[in-house]
Homo-oligomer: A and B are copies of this chain.
C-alpha cells in the first residue's frame, strides 16, 4: 500500500496511479454518469443560491422542460444531493434544497469550471484548426 496518509485533499493523481485497479476511474465515471447529462449541473448551480421552488428553478434555467426538471430533481434526490420538501397547501408548494453532500460537489465542479474557462480559447482554436485542416496534411 504505497499511500502513507489518506488526507482527502492530497494531490495524488489517482487517475494515473496504477497501484490500484481502475476503481477510482470507475468512481469518476459513476459521478459523470450523474452530472454529465444535460441539466444536472445547471440545477445544482441554481440551487447553490439556496432553497427554491419548482417553478422558480424552471424559470431560472430557461430552456429546461417541465419533465426534465422533474427527472433531474428526482435523480439528485435519489443520490442524496437534494432534499425535497412538499407542503400540502392549495396550491401545492414544493421546495428543493441542496444537502451538505450536494453542496460539497460544488467545489470540485468549480475546479473543473475554472479549467474550462481558462482553456476554452485553446480548445476552440484547436477545433477551428482541426475543422479547417485538409485531409492530406
User: Who on chain B is nearest to A105 by CB?
Assistant: B115
Chain B residue numbers with a CB within 8 Å of A50 are 2
Decide: A48 near B15, CB < 8 A? Known: A32-B35, A126-B101.
Answer: yes
Report the count of interface residues on A (CB-CB < 8 A).
Answer: 64
Oligomer: number of copies: 2
Chain B residue numbers with a CB within 8 Å of A12 are 110
Interface SS, A side: helix
Chain B residue numbers with a CB within 8 Å of A122 are 80, 101
The distance in angstroms between the C-alpha atoms of A9 and B106, with both chains bound, is 13
Q: Are B123 and A14 in contact (CB under 8 A)?
A: no
Q: Are B7 and A107 in contact (CB under 8 A)?
A: yes
- Among A37-45, A65-73, A87-95, the stretch in contact with B: A37-45
User: Who on chain B is nearest to A62 by CB?
Assistant: B22
Q: Are A119 and B106 in contact (CB under 8 A)?
A: no
- In the complex, whether A116 has a CB less than 8 A from a CB of chain B is yes
Q: 11 interchain pairs (CB within 8 A)?
A: A9-B9, A10-B114, A15-B113, A16-B45, A28-B112, A29-B42, A32-B36, A32-B112, A101-B123, A111-B112, A112-B112
